[in-house]
């Protein structure tokens, strides 16, 4: 359609077919008729050339470009329904995997919703925001709970901005924290792998015991604040409790020789 418009061949689609010329037709009638005939002929050629031969054979032929285009639209109605079903299924099953970036994930979901709108299946923005929230992984659980407790509803742009900010915050957390939150989301409180617990506690305890600021002050590698070590960090203790990991301040220390 863009090509037809640029070449002005869509004139035959915008204007109805003219009556056949007679002896009483004026010179102006002949010019208009000649223009319409040319535009109709060229439009018909471009439309047919843009359709594969296999599909073209199933479309009733016509010498009128507008009539032929209507037949093409009728032929693809069933295809549109199948495409809508595919889009809906893809939206329901798509989950954010953390690889593409949260912004790209939301834009992809929004694009699928826009395509459904073009198929007369509009999804309201408020519902779409909640729907996208459900596609986020377990590491965004606190973020989702925080949103659900707010009275204010986010727009799509606000959702993108807040999700990008949350993803950046998660990236700044300790690698061990990110590992437990994303590597195995099926684990729940009370069902944590003992090997993972031991591995994390030893690494954190040994790191915290030697964590010193460049000026000699104690430095917590969990909250990144000075004045205390990770084993004494209240935020770290609360995080362990939330994950069901028992707090052991002696983890990672070498046993004393007896």
In the prediction, which pLDDT does 202 show? 53
**The overall pTM is greater than 0.85:** no
In the prediction, which pLDDT does 225 show? 80
Model pLDDT for residues 108-162, shown as the tens digit of each residue: 999 999 989 888 888 999 999 999 999 999 999 999 998 888 888 899 999 999 9
In the prediction, which pLDDT does 8 show? 61
- Residue position matching structure tokens 């007896």: 258
In the prediction, which pLDDT does 177 show? 47
Q: Which of 93, 46, 255 is nearest to 109 (CA)?
A: 93
User: What are the two backbone dihedrals, phi and then psi, of residue 227, each rounded to the nearest 5 degrees?
Assistant: 105, -15
- CA 89/CA 138 separation, integer angstroms: 22
User: What are the two backbone dihedrals, phi and then psi, of residue 226, each rounded to the nearest 5 degrees?
Assistant: -90, 165
Let me know how long the chain is. 258
The residues of the chain scoring below 70 in pLDDT are: 1-9, 77-79, 174-217, 243-244, 249-258
Task: Return the CA Rg of the chain.
Answer: 32
In the prediction, which pLDDT does 210 show? 46
- CA 101/CA 85 separation, integer angstroms: 26
């Amino acid at each position: 359609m863009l090509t037809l418009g640029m070449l002005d061949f869509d004139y035959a689609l915008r204007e109805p077919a003219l009556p056949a010329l007679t002896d009483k037709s004026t010179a102006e009638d002949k010019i208009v008729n000649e223009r319409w005939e040319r535009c109709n002929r060229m439009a018909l050629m471009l439309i047919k050339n843009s359709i594969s031969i296999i599909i073209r054979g199933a479309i009733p032929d016509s010498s009128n470009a507008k009539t032929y285009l209507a037949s093409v639209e009728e032929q693809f109605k069933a295809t549109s329904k199948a495409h809508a079903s595919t889009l809906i299924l893809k939206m329901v099953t798509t989950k954010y995997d953390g690889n593409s970036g949260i912004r790209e994930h939301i834009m992809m979901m929004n694009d699928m919703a826009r395509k459904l709108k073009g198929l007369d299946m509009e999804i309201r923005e408020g519902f779409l925001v909640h729907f996208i929230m459900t596609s986020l992984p377990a590491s965004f659980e606190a973020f989702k709970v925080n949103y659900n407790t707010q009275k204010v509803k986010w727009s799509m742009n606000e959702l993108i901005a807040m999700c990008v900010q949350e993803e950046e915050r998660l990236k700044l957390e300790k690698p061990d924290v990110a590992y437990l939150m994303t590597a195995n989301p099926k684990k729940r409180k009370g069902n944590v792998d003992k090997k993972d617990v031991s591995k994390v506690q030893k690494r954190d305890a040994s790191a915290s015991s030697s964590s010193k600021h460049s000026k000699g002050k104690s430095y917590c590698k969990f909250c990144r604040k000075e004045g205390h070590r990770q084993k004494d960090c209240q935020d770290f203790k609360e995080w362990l409790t939330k994950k069901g990991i028992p707090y052991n301040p002696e983890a990672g220390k070498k046993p004393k020789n007896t």
